[in-house]
């Protein structure tokens, strides 16, 4: 329909809907971070607003990054794909060195002066840039095994291996899912994809079986109440919180589960706090906003005429979508817990800035179809 407009539609305006929805999300995130972390911050740091202030600062950084990404010439994510890839491999590798910051037995952070970053969040973007570049450039040979199939899988596999060493099982799964959905649209043979899926399943299975503890943890979500005291604890607490909200919720700030029952209340499980405090009414409002947001994001991808643009927009939308869905699935007990933050809402600078950059990329591509 718009295939001929290429030359005429010189400048479509920036997608202000997307921009507004993203800012709405970030604002909601600030409120929820304050509510979820206030009591805990007061107790451990004697400063109720500690996490709120930090999150507000990250927000400001994120908005700046978003505006920059929206204005940057596209060569930055089209031509420099390998550069970003090498950079993120380097950062991931650094977390395994003494520069890495360990927390809870996993070295997922890099300490850079006063801030610590989680390279995973940025490697998602790098992977998307690389895959978009790869599929658009190698489109002719994408159906072949050695040229079209092996390189993206090897690259993703390498990143995943680094993540598994941290260890960050959830992060590796996230990247694998990104690869899968990019390949699906990028044109990889369906049979190869099925084969890869099969191999990955077998690998994951072996890894899980080799460590019964991990298996138990992973499967705990199927019946969390069975193991409410250990493996299922987080999930049970999350369900208690989410369910307690019922129709109208306990009211903003009045949730009880965040009072040290729910671990990571301001982080991965912030949606449980939201569910408890705002109830189904609030959750539904969030789902409507989320639906609109995703619609705008995928709409931008669909409107792209250039394959690389399209795949880049699609990938950026995918990062956010998978983040939203995996987080919600974990909080609501339909997927095993694996430490995926809620984009824009969960506390954390890396996730927030990376999410804003995704929106920036989408805004950039929304401006005009090249």
Question: What does the binding site for another protein look like in residue numbers (CB under 8 A)?
Answer: 39, 42-43, 139-141, 143, 181, 184-187, 229-230, 233, 239-247, 256-257, 259-261, 275, 279-280, 283-284, 287, 290-291, 294, 298, 301-302, 305-307, 310-311, 314, 321, 325, 328-329, 332-334
Q: Sign (positive/negative) of CA torsion 305, 308, 309, 310?
A: positive
**Closer of 117 and 362 to another protein (Cβ):** 362
**Closer of 237 and 364 to another protein (Cβ):** 237
**Closer of 7 and 97 to another protein (Cβ):** 7
**Closer of 43 and 71 to another protein (Cβ):** 43
Q: How far lies 292's CA from each of 93, 118, 275, 289, 346, in Å? A: 37, 28, 20, 5, 20
**C-beta of 290: minimal distance to another protein in Å?**
7
**Closer of 49 and 165 to another protein (Cβ):** 49
**Closer of 88 and 321 to another protein (Cβ):** 321
**C-beta of 202: minimal distance to another protein in Å?**
24
3-class SS letters over the chain: CCCCHHHCCCCCCCCHHHHHHHHHHHHHHHHHHHHHHHHHHHHHHCCCCHHHHHHHHHHHHHHHHHHHHHHCCCHHHHCCHHHHHHHHHHHHHHHCCCCEEEECCEEEEEEECCEEECHHHHHHHHHHHHHHHHHHHCHHHCCCHHHHHHHHHHHHHHHHHHHHHCCCHHHHHHHHHHHHHHHHHHCCCHHHHHHHHHHHHHHHHHHHHHCHHHHHHHHHHHCHHHHCCCCCHHHHHHHHHHHHCCCCCCCCCCCCCCCCCCCCCCCCCHHHHHHHHHHHHHHHHHHHHHHHHHHHHHHHHHHCCCHHHHHHHHHHHHHHHHHHHHHHHHHCCCCCCCCCCCCCCCCCHHHHHHHHHHHHHHHHHHHCCC
**C-beta of 297: minimal distance to another protein in Å?**
10
**C-beta of 335: minimal distance to another protein in Å?**
10
**C-beta of 260: minimal distance to another protein in Å?**
4
**Closer of 18 and 163 to another protein (Cβ):** 18
**C-beta of 272: minimal distance to another protein in Å?**
10
**C-beta of 308: minimal distance to another protein in Å?**
10
Residue that the structure tokens 């409507």 belong to:
288
**Closer of 63 and 369 to another protein (Cβ):** 369
**C-beta of 261: minimal distance to another protein in Å?**
5
**C-beta of 314: minimal distance to another protein in Å?**
6
**Closer of 65 and 330 to another protein (Cβ):** 330
């Amino acid at each position: 329909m718009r295939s001929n407009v290429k030359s005429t539609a010189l400048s479509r305006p920036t997608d202000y809907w997307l921009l507004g929805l993203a800012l709405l999300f970030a604002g909601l995130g600030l409120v929820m971070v304050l509510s979820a972390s206030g009591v805990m911050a007061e107790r451990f740091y004697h400063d109720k607003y500690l996490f709120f202030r930090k999150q507000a600062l990250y927000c400001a950084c994120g908005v700046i990054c978003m505006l920059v990404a929206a204005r940057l010439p596209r060569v930055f994510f089209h031509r420099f794909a390998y550069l970003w890839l090498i950079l993120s491999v380097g950062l991931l590798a650094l977390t395994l060195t003494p520069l890495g910051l360990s927390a809870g037995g996993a070295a997922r952070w890099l300490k850079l002066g006063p801030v610590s970053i989680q390279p995973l969040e940025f490697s998602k973007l790098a992977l998307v840039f690389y895959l978009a570049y790869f599929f658009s450039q190698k489109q002719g040979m994408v159906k072949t095994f050695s040229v079209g199939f092996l390189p993206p899988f090897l690259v993703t596999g390498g990143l995943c291996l680094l993540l598994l060493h941290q260890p960050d099982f959830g992060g590796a799964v996230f990247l694998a899912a990104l690869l899968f959905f990019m390949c699906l649209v990028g044109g990889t043979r369906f049979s190869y994809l099925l084969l890869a899926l099969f191999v990955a399943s077998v690998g994951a299975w072996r890894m899980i079986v080799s460590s019964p503890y991990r298996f138990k943890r992973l499967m705990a979500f199927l019946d969390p109440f069975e193991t409410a005291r250990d493996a299922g604890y987080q999930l049970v607490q999350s369900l208690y919180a989410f369910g307690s909200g019922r129709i109208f919720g306990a009211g903003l700030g009045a949730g009880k589960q965040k009072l040290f029952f729910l671990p990571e209340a301001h982080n991965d499980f912030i949606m449980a706090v939201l569910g408890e405090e705002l109830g189904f009414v609030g959750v539904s409002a969030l789902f409507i906003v989320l639906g609109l947001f995703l619609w705008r994001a995928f709409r931008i991808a669909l409107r792209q005429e250039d394959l690389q643009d399209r795949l880049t927009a699609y990938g950026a939308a995918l990062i956010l979508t998978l983040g939203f869905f995996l987080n919600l699935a974990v909080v609501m007990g339909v997927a095993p817990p694996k430490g995926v933050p809620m984009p824009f809402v969960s506390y954390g600078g890396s996730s927030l800035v990376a999410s804003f950059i995704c929106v920036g990329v989408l805004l950039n591509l929304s401006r005009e179809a090249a």
